[in-house]
Structure 1
Amino acid sequence: MQTLPLRLVPGDDLRGALEAIARANPIGAAFVMQGIGSLSVANLRYAGLDQPTRLTGDLEILTLAGSLAADGAHLHMAVSDAQGHVSGGHVSVGCIVRTTAEILLVRLAGFRFSREFDPRTGFPELSIHPQA
């Protein structure tokens, strides 16, 4: 395993930036082990819903985790608002960094991840490919 600490800056799209990093670097297979920071906008898709819910205001990232490949990401996040109310779900495009996002990626040597359509779920799901 190889670790890669990252810092995203104000205005960055959290999901977009992570996917761009995965496309631009020979990551192959990685997991987001943890992420903290703040957002001004969070687009979270809650369980069982097709569309994300847009949260705005001063939001703190409490947890961020998921898998990352060159062809996409599967990320979950919990955020709290200024009153301490917590929301969590699937990270969609449009989560905008407010002050910082500090993220730890772990690259898995010897593997390549891809997202492939699974007819059982109707979604592109993680496919794990061992590499020599």
Structure 2
Amino acid sequence: MSFLPLHLQPGVDLRRALETPMAEQGCEATFIVSGIGSLDQARLRLAGAAEELELNGALEVLTLAGSVAMNGSHLHASLANAQGRVLGGHLYYGCRVRTTAEVLLALLPDWHFRRECDAATGYGELAPRRREGLPG
């Protein structure tokens, strides 16, 4: 396992910026260890909701966590607005960094992550596998 700290600039799509290093590093499995920063636009899907919610204005990223697979990500965030109200949910594309985002990625070069349909949940769930030719 190796760690990759990211400092993301204003205007960057947060989710895309988290998925890009995998390809650049030749890694097929990544976890977001920690993330903080600010957004001026966010798209979240709240628990049990069918559609996503778009938020605009100054937002603080309080927590950011998840996994990044070759065929999709599963990311959660909690965000606070200017009044201190907190919302959390699944992070979608279209979350734009306002001033900065600081994220620590854990790259797992011995693993291959894919999302596969799970009959029990009906969702694409994480299917972690050790890369071929590696012990264990």
TM-score by length of 2: 0.91
Match of 1:62 in 2: 62
Deviation larger for 89-98 or 112-121: 112-121
Match of 1:5 in 2: 5
Deviation larger for 1-10 or 113-122: 113-122
Q: How far off its partner does 1:27 sit?
A: 1.6
Deviation larger for 21-30 or 34-43: 21-30
Match of 1:121 in 2: 121
Deviation larger for 61-70 or 15-24: 15-24
Match of 2:34 in 1: 34
| Runs of 4 or more above 4 Å deviation | none
**What is the SS of the residue equivalent to 1:15?**
helix
Q: How far off its partner does 1:20 sit?
A: 2.5
The answer to whether residue 21 in structure 2 is matched with residue 21 in structure 1 is yes
TM-score by length of 1: 0.94
Match of 1:86 in 2: 86
User: For residues 43-62 of structure 1, what are the structure 2 equivalents within 5 Å?
Assistant: 43-62=43-62
Aligned residue type for 1:31? F
Cα distance in 1, alignment partners of residues 126 and 23 from structure 2: 16
The answer to whether residue 99 in structure 2 is matched with residue 99 in structure 1 is yes
Cα distance in 2, alignment partners of residues 100 and 33 from structure 1: 17
Cα distance in 2, alignment partners of residues 66 and 125 from structure 1: 12
Aligned residue type for 2:49? L
Cα distance in 1, alignment partners of residues 121 and 75 from structure 2: 17
Percent identity of paired positions between Structure 1 and Structure 2: 50
Provide the aligned C-alpha RMSD in A: 1.2
Aligned residue type for 2:97? V
Cα distance in 1, alignment partners of residues 71 and 17 from structure 2: 13
How many residue pairs get aligned? The number is 132
Structure number with bigger Rg: 2
**What is the SS of the residue equivalent to 2:76?**
strand
Match of 2:74 in 1: 74
Unaligned runs of 5+ in 2: none
Deviation larger for 111-120 or 77-86: 111-120
**What is the SS of the residue equivalent to 1:82?**
coil
Q: How far off its partner does 1:50 sit?
A: 1.7
